[in-house]
């Protein structure tokens, strides 16, 4: 997949490559994409909880 590129510190990239192999990802790109998607989902959940608590009158 060729898309926009993101720069990473070389030391961090090495660690990410090692970690992606350890976790069984096919590439470091797949590993990083998964981390970002996971964080975005958590952020969506966080907003949903906040909205619900507001709806219930507690925030």
Partner 1 sequence: MKQPLYVVSGLPRSGTSLLMGALAAGGLPIVSDGIRKPDQHNTNGYFEYEPVKKLSEDAGWLFEHRGHAVKIIYRLLYFLPPELPCVVLFMERSLSEVVASQNKMLGKADEPGRWVSLFKKELDKVKRWVSRQTNIRLLEISHRELIRQPPQTFTSLTEVLDLPLDVEAMTATVKPELYRERH
- Catalog residues that contact partner 1 under the rule CB under 8 A: 45, 48-50, 52-53, 55-59
Nearer CB in complex with partner 1: 34/52: 52
Nearer CB in complex with partner 1: 23/48: 48
CB-count exposure of residue 39 (10 Å: 0-12, 13-18, 19+): exposed
Rounded least distance, CB 49 to partner 1, Å = 6
Number of H helices, E strands in the chain: 2, 0
CB 49 within 8 A of CB 59: no
Rounded least distance, CB 32 to partner 1, Å = 23
């Amino acid at each position: 997949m060729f898309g926009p590129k993101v720069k990473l510190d070389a030391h961090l990239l090495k660690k990410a490559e090692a970690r992606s192999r350890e976790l069984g990802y096919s590439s470091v790109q797949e590993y990083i994409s998964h981390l970002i998607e996971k964080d975005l989902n958590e952020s969506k959940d966080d907003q949903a909880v906040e909205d619900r608590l507001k709806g219930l009158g507690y925030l």
